[in-house]
Amino acid sequence: MKSSSKQANSGELTAAVVAILAIVGITAGVWMWMQKQSAVPQEAPAQLAPGEPTPEPTPTPTPTKLFHGKDTYTLSGGMEGKPTISTVTLDPVDPAVGAKQAFTVALTNGSPITDAYLQVRTDTKTTKVPLTLANGASQNGTWTGEWAVPESYLYNYVVTVVASGSNGTTTIPITIRERK
């Protein structure tokens, strides 16, 4: 009897192994079929006619679009008791590389402003532009600065205003974009 019992157990074990392998095989087949169905077909590159120039690639991401001329950004918020930056004017918003760009910043503070400048981020550089008091007093005045644009700003164009006094520092970045 022991021999027939071992044969029955061996047959059941073989059937179980075959069933598991069948399930694994079917699951793998379904998975591969689903992967093939979800694959995105690749387009063949367009063929150019002999002597036809290669077209310029489209930039990715799309360059920043800006309008021409002077623009003023009105700011609000900030930390109570620290310097307040209320407006920032760029003249012009879209200078050519090598051209001058002027900045005017309205600052107020409970104590005198001790340092004011801009960090201007362009495509590959960040440049510090010092601001000097042009009108008013160091606690409530208009500060100005100017620079020659060193490079393009097609993808990165951020003007960060930094104003400090004995009561702390306020830093506000402004990402320059087309306004609608």
Q: What is the mean pLDDT of the chain?
A: 84
Confirm or reject CATH 2.30.29.30 for domain 71-175, answering yes or no. no
Q: What is the mean pLDDT of residues 93-120?
A: 96
Q: Which of 39-43, 86-90, 106-110, 172-176 has the lowest mean pLDDT?
A: 39-43
Tokens representing 161? 């205003």
pLDDT for 174 beyond 80: yes
89/163 Cα distance (integer angstroms): 15
pLDDT for 15 beyond 90: no
173/23 Cα distance (integer angstroms): 59
Q: Considering the entire predicted model, what is its pTM?
A: 0.65
Q: Which of 35-44, 95-104, 165-174 has the lowest mean pLDDT?
A: 35-44
CA-CA-CA-CA torsion sign (71, 76, 77, 78): positive
pLDDT at 168: 94
